[in-house]
A and B are shown apart, each in its own frame.
Chain A
Amino acid sequence: MSDKKKTTIVLFSGDYDKAMAAYIIANGAAAYDHEVTIFHTFWGLNALRKENQIPLKKGFLEKMFGKMMPRGADKMGLSKMNYLGMGPKMIKHVMKKHNAMTLPQLVEMAQEQNVKMIACTMTMDLLGLQQEELLDGIDYAGVAAYIGDAEQGNVNLFI
């Protein structure tokens, strides 16, 4: 077992702003030389979706879910002041002005920093998401794998 400290985050939310907070903390913890795990479940899985549509065999409900949910980090809405998509446009404009990293950039940076990104397989089934639709280089697991990391964790968050 390594003597590195651990940060573990559950990303449940599919909101752009909340996911941004999760990924900023993850990147900060990685810079602190922590071993970082983000466990994506329910709407948080959308942060891992590829932007392009992947043709897959799916049932009717799974197809509907796939269409209704944001395809990728950049398409996510805000938890407050979304205004039918105007909110994200405005905040992205402001972020650019302040030179803040966008969510897709933060996700990429997390991968570069070897943050362990886990997709919850049970909720993937519920939402009809398949591995081919999610980013490459991520892990697939359930609650036990998360607890395995979290029980040795120093920082543990649910977002």
Chain B
Amino acid sequence: MEVKKVLDAKGLACPMPIVKTKKTMEELNSGEILEVHATDKGAKSDLTAWAKSGGHELLKDTEEDNVLKFWIKKG
């Protein structure tokens, strides 16, 4: 999986992870992958819903040491 960009949203509280993800996603082209790191517990539900609504594809997500990681392919 080739990641185009990594967004570090660790330590940020709602609504910042989603606001930053949106901003960063704008810099990517369709089909490219964004990796997001977050610590906000709501981020999983938030990013899943956001990706779906925006026509993006959430390829994978993991949780390690309280850090949530997401790989989103731009639609």
Interface string of B1-36 (1 = CB under 8 A from A): 000000000011111101101100000000000000
Q: Are B19 and A32 in contact (CB under 8 A)?
A: no
Q: Are B12 and A31 in contact (CB under 8 A)?
A: no
Q: List the A side residues contacting B21 at CB < 8 Å.
A: 31
Closest residue of chain A to B23 (Cβ to Cβ) is: A31
Closest residue of chain A to B21 (Cβ to Cβ) is: A31
In the complex, which of the residues B11, B12, B19 contacts A27, with contact meaning CB atoms closer than 8 Å? B19
Q: Are B13 and A33 in contact (CB under 8 A)?
A: no
In the complex, which of the residues A30, A98, A99, A100 contacts B19, with contact meaning CB atoms closer than 8 Å? A30
Q: Are B13 and A101 in contact (CB under 8 A)?
A: yes
Q: List the A side residues contacting B13 at CB < 8 Å.
A: 98-101
Q: Are B14 and A31 in contact (CB under 8 A)?
A: no
Task: Count how many chain B residues have C-beta atoms less than 8 Å from C-beta atoms of the other chain.
Answer: 13
Closest residue of chain A to B12 (Cβ to Cβ) is: A99
In the complex, which of the residues B14, B19, B53 contacts A113, with contact meaning CB atoms closer than 8 Å? B19
Q: Are A32 and B50 in contact (CB under 8 A)?
A: yes
Q: Taking the complex as formed, is A141 at the interface, i.e. its CB lies under 8 A from any CB of chain B? A: no
Chain B residues 32 to 58 lying within 8 A of chain A, measured CB to CB, are: 50, 53-54
Q: Taking the complex as formed, is A24 at the interface, i.e. its CB lies under 8 A from any CB of chain B? A: yes
Q: List the B side residues contacting A98 at CB < 8 Å.
A: 13
Q: Taking the complex as formed, is A28 at the interface, i.e. its CB lies under 8 A from any CB of chain B? A: yes
Q: Are A31 and B18 in contact (CB under 8 A)?
A: yes
**Nearest Cβ in chain B — how far from A21, in angstroms?**
11
Q: List the B side residues contacting A27 at CB < 8 Å.
A: 15, 19
Q: Are A31 and B11 in contact (CB under 8 A)?
A: no
Give 5 pairs: A residue, B residue, CB < 8 Å, sorted on A: A30-B19, A32-B18, A32-B53, A99-B11, A101-B16
Interface residues in chain A, defined as those with a beta carbon under 8 Å from any beta carbon in chain B? 24, 27-28, 30-33, 98-101, 109, 113
Interface residues in chain B, defined as those with a beta carbon under 8 Å from any beta carbon in chain A? 11-16, 18-19, 21-22, 50, 53-54
